[in-house]
Structure 1
Amino acid sequence: MALRLQPDITALNEVIVFKRNYLKKVKDRISDLSQKISLLDRQDQDLTERSAPPHSSLPEFQQLKATLDDHLEQAVNLEDSIALHTTLLPSPAQLLPVEILSYILFLCMEDMLFPEWGNLSFPPLVFGRVCSWFRAVALSTPLVWSSVSIHILPGRRWKDQFDSFLERSGSCPLRLELIWHPKRGDHETNMVYTILNQLMPSLSSRWQKLQLFVPDHTLSIILGNPLPTLEYLSLGSENDDPIPYLGSPGFAPTLRTLSFSTVHLRPLLWQMPWSQLTELNSKSQLSGSGVLRIFAQCRLLERCRLRVGRYNPHAFDPDPHHLVVMPRLQSLVFVIGNNEDCFGLFQRVVLPALTEMEFRSATMRAAGMAGQLFFHGESVWPKQHLVSLIERSGCTLERLALVGVLVHEMELRDTVKWLPSLTSLEYFIGGDMVPDDLKEILLKRQLGELR
């Protein structure tokens, strides 16, 4: 949508100033004429008492009245003209360059990876309700329309939304979350496949971020051509039919973030460009040895969040002294089940860049009774493995978070004691469980009061 041209503000202001100055002169002249006519009216009253002819019958008086009427009409016309010209002046918002307004709108969407356009809080909709000018800016900013979440449901509404997505996004890189869970025997399934087969091949060069909760065959349609600009891929298929060519050299050269977003997928079956990834997430459980196999292929990882099961030291490599070095890994999150001791794998890794770790329970169950929480399962917190990892890696661990993982207070205190670089500790089981004195110690470390 083309934005209307802004008027010449300088010339418009000059016209308005000129007319206001001229109006002032006209009003001054009206004031003078009114005073003269008022004076003649008072003199008429005196003449009437002396039975003399009134001034109002004289030509001079009639001329003054005619001149006053002309000036009054001129003043009204000037006021109308000034009001009209003033409406042509842009509002303060319109004085901002379109690029700045567009950038402000874009910043409102930075945290929205795949927004739902129908949501009333969708920033372009909120922005467009401010005024017609803001609406024009929103509609003419392709970048804010380049990301969307589309749920394929019966009917054509999803297709209309997809068409709007392509039209409004212009030539911008595209970010799409596509959700489709067709029911067996759905008569629209073939139609959807036909539409996707027509649309997707021509868009493969524009995909920047994809989050796909779709059948395997749909994955093949969307990911069936080289993806030169794809940076983020999240897979949520309910089956496990890996696409072999995703790992082909040059097929997805810019892919950096990969997520397996359902428990049904098995990451190790997928041929991916593992060696170029910087972030990996998996809701599908990996054994401890499976984690090591992943790590061995992902040496550039910086952030990692994995669902981890037990560790079998003999399932990965017969050499117990083999170490996997992850030189860039800064953040590591393990989601673990009760009594699933995965910590033995720490003996096999070196993480020199690690600054934060988080452990979350995958199966925590709690019941409240008289304000008391009861947890099922035993503590599996292995302080010695963690301390050994830190010492071997030579890293500076600053943040440790434990969510739903049962740890005895003494173990918690020992962990803080043996990790002098630790400045942030979070321990949640139905609430904040970090003792106050430990919080004080960590705060002093943050402030540099403890060395």
Structure 2
Amino acid sequence: MTQQLIPTGFSEQSLVKRARGSIQLLEETGTDSRTVRASIKDLPVELLVYIFQECVEQEIPRLSPQPFRSYLYPTVGVVPSPPMVFLQICRRWRDVAYSTSSLWTSLSGGEIYWDRSGPTIPAMRYCLDRSKQAPLHLRLYSSRRRHRDAEPSRANEMLRLFATEISRWRSFSIAFDEGLVETMAAILSCSHGQVDRLEELEVYFHPGPIPMQSVASVLSSLLSRKSLQRLYLNYSRDFTTFNFQLVPWNRLNEILIQARFSLEECVRYLSQCSSASRVSLYSPYPLSDLVPICPDLPITTLPNLSSLILSQQWDAIKVLEFFDLPSLRHLTLRTNDTSRHGGWRGQPSIFKRFLERSKCSIAHLTILDPRILMSTVVEYFKIPALHRIPRVGFSSSRVCLDEREVGNPLYAGHDEVRASRNAALQVRALLNAQRLFPRIHTWKCPETRGSYFGWGGADEEIE
């Protein structure tokens, strides 16, 4: 049984090493040195439980570089199972692990990798039994390419097993294929409101045919849970008939959604996020915003929003025209459309009015635009309120000094990064000599393959 849950590369030695590291951490925080220097087998039960829980937490893979978990950039993996390793160290460790239900509540299963399957059904059932009545944190994958030895029904069987404890679901992450959507729809139709403890939901849809009726049924049922606080939804498929008004925008604390939103839809949905502290909206496909949005829309105040990420195929800064965000601390705006010149985009006047209206204390501002002109960036730098932001970064895949440089062959192909960096260094020297703004720095920007241009990044300075 234990070997069914121990992942490749996870050994007793690595576990003991991690435990010793936890002891060192406790020592540094002031725990009695005589206790932390005792041999591992003689540790007090309370300290041993703490170390076990830390090991379990650290082994849970993070799905995204975003501030919170998401399927936005799906990475497949299996949650390693340190509890099963604890059982092999000694009798005392085994007894402590058996009696600590919280060690058995984070489970991941299904067809994990294309080259091998994850934990077996009996192994997952064993963990559910050990978790007693504690809340469950579940992740379930259906691989698009199954291993030749993998059972085709593994993910569906795992979902049915998890459903036997549906009233204990606290967080649930799932990558849907056609079979899993149908199975989930059947489970929810018989659950009669038992999913009443679900606080966090992650949903990703694999490419391929998935019945829209089942998708709508599953999402509407899960999103209607009154306990739901955090939603991470990758809805980048072309399901144009789904009604996003079913999302409880006004009740959620954290929202990350990848979907095709127009400017008008983005403003409409964001204006409902009265309880949210963090919102991220991503658009995976081009969607024109040429249809004008009503200029007479009222300004909406979102008092709790502290982090906002907008990554769109249209000029994301236009959204700020309709909001007052007094608590905003982190703002990222990304325009992904590379088909047009950017001289008219990223309008500094909109941002200036937004800062004057919101009077927020932004700590970190990032604006990414593949075609933004340096003349536009300089207009931003002239905004006095911008100088109070500790970290400011503008970046483009090419740093253009004026409209004539957009078509310059130096900015094509492999010369693009070099030209961008050289232009940034030249403009940086020019602006710093004028001493009109905070000292300008340049540092690498992985998102655009170019350079950030701003301040607050001195520790990453490009010379």
Determine if the TM-score, normalized by the shorter chain, exceeds 0.5.
yes
SS of the residue aligned with 1:263? coil
Distance 1:117 1:179, change over 3 A: closer
Matches within 5 A, 1:354-393: 354-360=328-334, 362=336, 378=342, 380-393=345-358
Task: Give, in whole Å, the separation in 2 of the partners of 1:249 and 1:152.
Answer: 23
1:144 alignment counterpart: 103
1:22 alignment counterpart: none
SS of the residue aligned with 1:297? coil
Distance 1:195 1:262, change over 3 A: same
SS of the residue aligned with 1:219? helix
RMSD: 4.3
Task: Give, in whole Å, the separation in 1 of the partners of 2:82 and 2:334.
Answer: 33
SS of the residue aligned with 1:205? helix
1:205 alignment counterpart: 167
Paired amino acid for 2:110: H
1:115-149 CA-to-partner distances (Å, cap 9, x unmatched) read 89967x65546766766644554454322321122
Q: Match for 2:310 among 334, 348, 355? A: 334
Task: Give, in whole Å, the separation in 1 of the partners of 2:157 and 2:104.
Answer: 25
Q: Match for 1:258 among 231, 243, 259? A: 231
8 Å CA contact 2:316–2:333 kept in 1: the answer is no
SS of the residue aligned with 1:358? strand
Matches within 5 A, 1:3-402: 92-110=39-57, 123-124=82-83, 133-134=92-93, 136-152=95-111, 158-180=120-142, 196-197=159-160, 199-214=161-176, 215=178, 216-224=181-189, 225=191, 226=193, 227-238=195-206, 239=210, 240-241=212-213, 242-243=215-216, 252-264=225-237, 268-269=243-244, 271-308=246-283, 309-311=287-289, 314=292, 320-337=296-313, 340-360=314-334, 362=336, 378=342, 380-402=345-367
SS of the residue aligned with 1:274? coil
Deviates more, 1:243-252 or 1:325-334: 243-252
8 Å CA contact 1:200–1:222 kept in 2: the answer is no
8 Å CA contact 1:299–1:326 kept in 2: the answer is yes
Distance 1:417 1:243, change over 3 A: same
Cα offset for 1:348? 1.7
Task: Give, in whole Å, the separation in 1 of the partners of 2:326 and 2:305.
Answer: 8
SS of the residue aligned with 2:361? coil
1:20 alignment counterpart: none
1:241-285 CA-to-partner distances (Å, cap 9, x unmatched) read 444586679952221111112411566446233321011111222
Task: Give, in whole Å, the separation in 1 of the partners of 2:337 and 2:59.
Answer: 29
8 Å CA contact 2:223–2:247 kept in 1: the answer is no
Task: Give, in whole Å, the separation in 1 of the partners of 2:121 and 2:352.
Answer: 55
Larger radius of gyration: 1
1:420 alignment counterpart: 387
8 Å CA contact 1:209–1:233 kept in 2: the answer is yes
8 Å CA contact 2:220–2:246 kept in 1: the answer is yes
SS of the residue aligned with 1:277? coil
1:368 alignment counterpart: none
Paired amino acid for 1:143: S
Task: Give, in whole Å, the separation in 1 of the partners of 2:277 and 2:61.
Answer: 23
1:158-215 CA-to-partner distances (Å, cap 9, x unmatched) read 423432331232222111111125799x997679757745x35432211111111123
Give identity over the alignment, percent: 21
Paired amino acid for 1:228: D
Task: Give, in whole Å, the separation in 2 of the partners of 1:323 and 1:274.
Answer: 18
Distance 1:285 1:249, change over 3 A: closer
8 Å CA contact 1:285–1:306 kept in 2: the answer is no
Paired amino acid for 2:272: Q
Distance 1:123 1:385, change over 3 A: farther
Task: Give, in whole Å, the separation in 2 of the partners of 1:131 and 1:363.
Answer: 59
1:325-375 CA-to-partner distances (Å, cap 9, x unmatched) read 2221111111133xx2243232222222111111345577xxxxxxxxxx9
2:445 alignment counterpart: none
2:27 alignment counterpart: none
Task: Give, in whole Å, the separation in 2 of the partners of 1:213 and 1:427.
Answer: 34
1:25-61 CA-to-partner distances (Å, cap 9, x unmatched) read xxxxxxxxxxxxxxxxxxxxxxxxxxxxxxxxxxxxx
8 Å CA contact 1:288–1:312 kept in 2: the answer is no
Distance 1:156 1:406, change over 3 A: closer
Distance 1:129 1:157, change over 3 A: closer
The number of residue pairs the alignment matches comes to: 339
Task: Give, in whole Å, the separation in 1 of the partners of 2:256 and 2:105.
Answer: 24
Task: Give, in whole Å, the separation in 1 of the partners of 2:371 and 2:300.
Answer: 28
SS of the residue aligned with 1:301? coil
SS of the residue aligned with 2:311? strand
8 Å CA contact 1:402–1:427 kept in 2: the answer is yes
Task: Give, in whole Å, the separation in 2 of the partners of 1:411 and 1:129.
Answer: 62
SS of the residue aligned with 1:327? coil
Distance 1:126 1:442, change over 3 A: farther
More helix by share: 1
Task: Give, in whole Å, the separation in 2 of the partners of 1:231 and 1:286.
Answer: 25
8 Å CA contact 1:311–1:342 kept in 2: the answer is no
TM-score (norm 1): 0.62
Deviates more, 1:142-151 or 1:252-261: 142-151
2:21 alignment counterpart: none
Distance 1:421 1:244, change over 3 A: farther
Deviates more, 1:143-152 or 1:128-137: 128-137
Task: Give, in whole Å, the separation in 2 of the partners of 1:278 and 1:312.
Answer: 31
Task: Give, in whole Å, the separation in 1 of the partners of 2:57 and 2:306.
Answer: 23
Distance 1:425 1:276, change over 3 A: same
